[in-house]
Amino acid sequence: MYCTNTNTALFFSSIDQISPEIWEGLQCAKNIYFNPAFLKAVEKNHPEIVFSYIVLIDKNSNPIAFASIQIVNFHIDDIKNDLELLIRKLKNIGRKLHILPNKKPLKILISGNTFVSGEHGIFIKKNQDKKIIIKNLAKAILHYVNANKKLKIDAFLLKDFRNKSLFISNELRDYNYHPFSVEQNMMLKLDESWQVFEDYLASMKTKFRVKARKAFLRSTDIKIKNVTPKNIDVQLPKMTALYKKVVDNADFNLGNFNLNTFKDLKENLGSNYILKTYWLDDNIVGFISGIINQKSLDAHFVGINYELNKEHAIYQRMLYDYIEIGIEKKLNRINFGRTASEIKSSVGAVPQDLTMYIRHKKSITNKILKLFLQKIQPTPFQQKFPFKNIRNS
């Protein structure tokens, strides 16, 4: 327990420790990312990560905010994108000054969702002063680390804040956090007039509609099957191998997702968790997963056989399938997440900025970090405009 001037912070090391009364008081479970069933599934299947949770209560002992925390080992040498040179320079300087470990990974405390892009780490009830809440959470996180010396945290990372939240999250600057932006989230707003997938295709310019038709033609031989709790065990090994190929191909990963989590997510969330495999003959060549969160479909993880991807338009077909699912379920938007921005824009997605805040525990390193973060920009890409009429997202 930690008391601020206005709130008290309660700390929990497992979802199971948080009482039903607290969840009922928070009233956050409608958002799947703050649903204990979702959080428990992730926690259960990632024993290498230290999970903690903070609940803020007011003077009347009513819960008013919740934050999810994960402590991960981050290997700087694994970064392969445009940040690599900057990060390596920072690492070399830090090691010369003896403020970064020579061989050990950085131990990072993350407030947010390690495995999903978006504002899914901090929940604040309505009618609360969000600026005060975010400050109190920053204080509580620092107290948590100082009270647990064995954790040996190197840095703090709070992710991902949308532009409309920056007037709140910028309060973190007062606690020596530095904002920076990396890859944007690609989001497609689903038009209310799209009753079926053909309506979506009809709204596109000829060039992009022809491209979609070709993708479906090239993927004709692919069979798509629903993954269920009954058949998942026999498919997981191959799905895991395909996911590993995607991870190896990625520029940046905070952590590796254990696909055994799919079993719990499917059992706990039912039809709100989408899981499909893509087959050529008797071989799995891909899979998609997704979370239906209120009126959004969030693409979760995919697996792809890259050797067959171009010939059979596997990934492109996956993007269209996400859209078709969203239309069928009468959702409002598809969040495609980061990476592969250009191909996602070709199906109608537009970029949404997401801001992270980072702070190194050592003040000298933190000042150096600020200088390098000022040079970081999202990777540029050629935005496509596939629709006949300009659409606001």
Six token digits for residue 174: 């007062």
On whether residue 266 sits in a domain, the answer given is: yes
Helix (H) or strand (E) holding 185: strand 185-189
Residues 341 and 248 placed together within one structural domain of the fold: yes
Q: Is residue 8 part of a domain?
A: yes
What value does the mean pLDDT take over residues 102-111? Answer: 80
User: CATH number for the domain including 193?
Assistant: 3.40.630.30
**Domain, as residue range, for 211:** 186-352
Average pLDDT, the chain: 89
Does pLDDT of 89 surpass 60? no
Q: Tell me what pLDDT residue 118 has.
A: 86
Give the containing element (helix H, strand E) for 296. Answer: strand 296-304
User: How sure is the predictor about 336, in pLDDT bands with cuts at 50, 70 and 90?
Assistant: very high
| Domain match, 333 and 201 both | yes
Same domain, 345 and 357: no
Tell me, yes or no, whether 340 and 357 share the same domain.
no
pLDDT above 70 as % of the chain: 90
Write the pLDDT tens digit of every residue in 201-230: 999 999 999 999 999 999 999 999 999 999
Q: How confident is the model at residue 379 (pLDDT cuts 50, 70, 90)?
A: confident
Residues 180 and 198 in one domain: no
Q: In the structure, what pLDDT confidence band is assigned to residue 79 with cuts at 50, 70 and 90? A: low
In a shared domain, residues 175 and 193: no
Mean pLDDT of 86-114: 66
Block residue for tokens 């100082």 = 146
**What confidence score (pLDDT) does residue 84 get?**
46
Over residues 345-371, the pLDDT tens digits come to 999 999 999 899 999 888 877 887 787
Q: What is the mean pLDDT of residues 242-270?
A: 87
Structure tokens at 11: 């700390």
Same domain, 104 and 202: no
Query: Are 193 and 232 found together in one domain?
Result: yes
Q: Which residues are within 8 A (CB) of 51 and not within 5 positions of it... i.e. 6 or more apart?
A: 13, 14, 15, 42, 43, 68, 69, 70, 71
Task: With residue 132 as reference, give the H or E element that holds it.
Answer: helix 130-147
323 in the same domain as 199: yes
Query: For residue range 284-334, what is the model confidence (pLDDT) as tens digits?
Result: 999 999 999 999 999 999 999 999 999 999 999 999 999 999 999 999 999
Taking 60 as the threshold, does the pLDDT of residue 392 lie above it?
Answer: no
180 - beta bridge partners? Answer: 356
The structural domain count of the chain equals 2
Kindly report the length of the chain: 393
For the segment 148-172, the average pLDDT, to the nearest whole number, is 89
Q: How confident is the model at residue 335 (pLDDT cuts 50, 70, 90)?
A: very high
Note whether 173 and 108 are same-domain residues. Answer: yes
380 DSSP 8-state letter: P
66 and 164 share one domain: yes
